[in-house]
A and B are shown apart, each in its own frame.
Chain A
Amino acid sequence: MTSHSPDRPRELVLVGHGMVGQRFLEAWTEQPGADRWRVTVLAEEPRPAYDRVHLSSLFDGRTPEDLALCPPGFLAEHGIDLRLGDPVTAIDRAARTVTTRAGRQVRYDALVLATGSAPFVPPVPGRDAAGCHVYRTIEDLDAIRADAERATIGVVVGGGLLGLEAAGALRATGLSTHVVEFAPRLMAVQVDDGGGALLRRKIEDLGVTVHTSAAADAVATGPEGRVRALSLSDGRELAADLVVFSAGIRPRDQLARDCGLPVGARGGIVVDERCRTADPAVLAIGECAQAADGRVYGLVAPGYQMAETAARELADRPGDGFVGADTSTKLKLLGVDVASFGDPHGAAEGAVDVLYSDSRLGVYRKLVIGADGALLGGVLVGDTDSYGTLRPLAVAGRPLTVPPEQLVLPAGLSTAGPVALPDEAVLCSCHNVTQGAVRAAVREQGCDSVAAVKKCTRAGTGCGSCVKQLGTVVGEELAAAGFAPQTGLCEHFAQTRAELYEIVRVTGITGFSDLLDRYGQGEGCEVCKPTVASILASLGGGHILDGEQAALQDSNDHFLANLQRNGSYSVVPRVPGGEITPEGLITIGEIARDYGLYTKITGGQRIDLFGASVDQLPGIWARLVDAGFESGHAYGKALRTVKSCVGETWCRYGVQDSVALAIELELRYRGLRSPHKLKSAVSGCARECAEAQSKDFGVIATSAGWNLYVGGNGGMTPRHADLLAADLDRETLIRTIDRYLMFYIRTADRLERTSVWLDRLEGGLDHLRAVVIDDSLGIAAELDELMARHIGCYQDEWAATLADPDRLRRFSSFVNAPGTPDPAVTFVPERGQIRPARPGEDGRVLTTPAPVLVAGPRLEVLTP
């Protein structure tokens, strides 16, 4: 069919639908006149564009759907024809057509190449053996994950950004992990020797073995052709069941080469600053192109800028061309913060380094200062908080307004205030948004929150590394416009949690409605309701499911169990100190078997039972309570566990009975509601097998008594606990912990960990010591009294629930079909147990196995 109408749409063909390709489509559809073109996208991968930068998050439970980049309805809305799994195999520039693998021919008036790059696999013998992988696509990760299940040792070839990402992923799947890097240090491009050394130490502390100055020589295979070992250039051989090559990327420029377009000496389709190739009808963007400055960028932000440039060029609206980009990066690799910005190596003449390094704290900061005093670049390892300020300054090449040494010193030693950024400084380099644009969004477009500014400017929606800085700028601008900073809990309460705690304590208010009517407004929300519920509970408000309190609890507290991803619940009985009898173990095992639950030992010496429906909870708990177990409070913001080692009773090195103390502490503080969950541990000697220094409060035995540590935590930002007091006797120890906990509960913010609270506490550890030991505020007796009341009022929540038919009525999936489990909750078998079925998987419906007692809402009441 041929049309000679002058209105015949022009044909735009995009080759490749990766991050840059999608960004090009978004930029293109915003151009005036774009709707007169017909757009066809020919892609190799079987799925639309996804966020490759966050690929590793697939190992943390995110799904491919979470990574999708193409907004739903976007393609249909703009009439874009996306053909997946059918890559272009040839370009005929004379005929202006492309041919795909399936043999399809598509004509173009304009052709945009966004074919990205391919992982570089060094030409070592055996590199194609089963068990060898690259790390580039969702399919690659699926293959790695499948292989990892039967592997125990994984080796990553390449110690750059991607290599360390891959190592983190292997480690996450439980493999013993090695990294082999050719250069003498890790991340050789981004960091310097000092930063690389600290990075290496931190990564080795995590159990990853690092081999630098070594290259992969050959992959050795076993009899069935699978990887068995990797031999290195230094003659050593590493045993390996799985090898991931992550030694850099190469531009995918073969299509361009085949049709005679010029490519750079080291690959990459040569383009000018408007992203045009030597053929005016063909453009190239992203990692497949060699930009006008002669570089091939392996980062997404420059690719995005090229995408915008190409879209404007095709729409005949050329603005600023693409002449090069900032390659600053900030990452969390294997949990270690690493950032490099501007020129991190100080290549400019006369440049000097200012650096601060503290191996004990694990912090390394280096700034490169030019001869004129301007900040040129830097490297941050271990603490990258200042990245948001320093990167824009370095990229703008601005002279510093404060002495550079002030910017690298730890907060306590630095006297410098915040550094002011110029308005033209780029805050978000992913989307090229300046600080001025952010300020204008607040001032002129009425954005009154970070979320609104993100929506309006796109700042902070890329890699997210600028969000903190964004918050500061938005806050400043709002304050300048006369808006008071929000310190209140939420829109319903202008008070902080600590203030509400005091109000409840002083007024004796016992209900949420009462508090809301007198001190708040509106109907409340998911923020203030559970907070108030927690305050009422920690001030002795009775059973948490009584009266109006029941309507405030988070779903977890409401069902006294932990909500899991598919809507089922997990059950965790308390095992004080981790000590359990064989009979107790057998009982838990029998219950799990009878209900078909998944069982797992938790990180805190307990046993998790997963996959229970709401209807099954009372039946399960009836049997647990009958066997002497009580609620483990795994669902609450409350004391979770007090872990212990075996102490002097069994251990050759133990100097005190850590088990007895752990049990005593766990029983003392069980059920204590607090702003954040609380964990504790007791170690019987300085070997610290219970890891007490990573807990909210931890105790380590000494030959003279007990040392008390406070304010530690694991989690996202781990912190070692501080020594509050040494060589305490048992009684003083317990009294000190009582006061510490009650002081924390009284003054902490909502969801504020003890570590954050301690860091925020004015006067810090010394002040805390003065309050809980020397009673400097005169509140010690009050704190003691509150704890005594908590201990006196404690009742097991599950036993109390089972004894009350009214409370039991809520444990029903359907009010009009009691006893019917949720038919949407399905499971599939895995490693001999169940797991939630994934979307599209045909799981079996959760049913109560026949022989056990039926757990309905009208369960018979058990009398102890």
Chain B
Amino acid sequence: MTVEIHDGTRWRTVCTLDDLQPGRGVAVLLDGEQVAVFRDRSGGLHALDNRDPFSGAHVLSRGLLGSRGERPTLASPMYKQVFDLTDGRCLDEETAPDGTPAVLRLWPVRSAVEPAPAAARPAVPARATAQAPA
């Protein structure tokens, strides 16, 4: 099983499912952009900006998954702000120190079977587990 992120144009294979330890993330470099990819305890995949808007460091892939009420969350390892994994919003502060809204971009992510030869690859993958591309 591989993990794929949609970069706005196409799905890109970034790692295998085994690379993702439940509850822990990895960082992905996509044409200079950094994405943090997580797998939660129940197997769901999440992909968000890796840049922590509060410290400016690209460290969110090293944060801890959790929950707040019903919402699945990610806590930044730097100053511990908590983000909602369903919409990327920071639940603790609305704006970052530079004045921008503290919202992380969500990237469409899915797991897929090992890539088949290009010609035979289905247009819509059979096993998308997370969000569809916007």
Contacts and interface: CB of A to CB of B under 8 A. Distances in A.
Contact of B78 (A72, A563, A809): A563
B124 interface: no
27 contacts: A65-B97, A65-B98, A72-B100, A491-B68, A492-B66, A523-B66, A525-B75, A525-B82, A526-B64, A548-B23, A551-B23, A551-B65, A554-B64, A555-B59, A563-B77, A566-B55, A567-B58, A567-B78, A815-B14, A815-B27, A816-B14, A816-B28, A817-B29, A822-B58, A824-B51, A824-B58, A825-B58
A813 B62 contact: no
Interface of B: 14-15, 19, 21-24, 26-29, 32, 34, 37, 40-41, 51, 55-59, 62-69, 72-73, 75, 77-78, 80, 82, 95, 97-101
Contact of B99 (A73, A548, A551, A814): A73
A551 B22 contact: yes
A66 B97 contact: yes
A814 B77 CA distance: 17
Nearest to B27: A814
A529 interface: yes
Interface in A467-497: 491-492
Closest 9 A/B residue pairs (Cβ) = A72-B99, A555-B77, A551-B23, A567-B57, A525-B66, A526-B75, A523-B67, A815-B26, A522-B67
A88 B69 CA distance: 52
A294 interface: no
Given A491-B68, A815-B37, A822-B27, 12 more contacts: A525-B73, A526-B66, A526-B75, A529-B23, A551-B21, A551-B65, A814-B28, A815-B15, A815-B27, A815-B28, A822-B34, A823-B32
Given A526-B75, A565-B55, A555 B62 contact: yes
Nearest to A64: B97
B134 to A, nearest CB: 22
Contacts, number: 120
Nearest to B52: A567
A491 B28 contact: no
Given A566-B57, A822-B58, A839-B56, A525 B68 contact: yes
Contacts of A548: 22-23
A778 to B, nearest CB: 38
Contacts of B37: 815
Given A65-B97, A65-B98, A558 B66 contact: no
A529 B66 contact: yes
Interface in A517-548: 522-526, 529-530, 548
Contacts of B77: 554-556, 563
A550 B58 CA distance: 20
A526 B67 CA distance: 9
Contacts of A810: 24
A824 B57 CA distance: 7
A552 interface: yes
A828 to B, nearest CB: 15
Given A526-B66, A839-B56, A814 B95 contact: no
B14 A558 contact: no
A34 interface: no
A71 interface: yes
A523 B40 contact: yes
A524 B24 CA distance: 13
Contacts of A66: 97
Contacts of B14: 815-816
A523 B72 CA distance: 8
B52 to A, nearest CB: 8
A529 B64 CA distance: 8
Nearest to B3: A815
A815 B109 CA distance: 15
A824 B34 contact: yes
Given A491-B69, A559-B62, A565-B55, A551 B98 contact: no
A68 interface: yes
A820 interface: yes
Contacts of B55: 565-567
Contacts of A523: 40-41, 65-67, 72-73
Interface string A500-532: 000000000000010000000011111001100
Contacts of B41: 513, 523
Contacts of A550: 21, 24
A555 B57 CA distance: 13
Contacts of B40: 523
B82 to A, nearest CB: 7
A68 B95 contact: no
A529 B15 CA distance: 26
Contacts of A566: 55-57
Contacts of B56: 566, 839
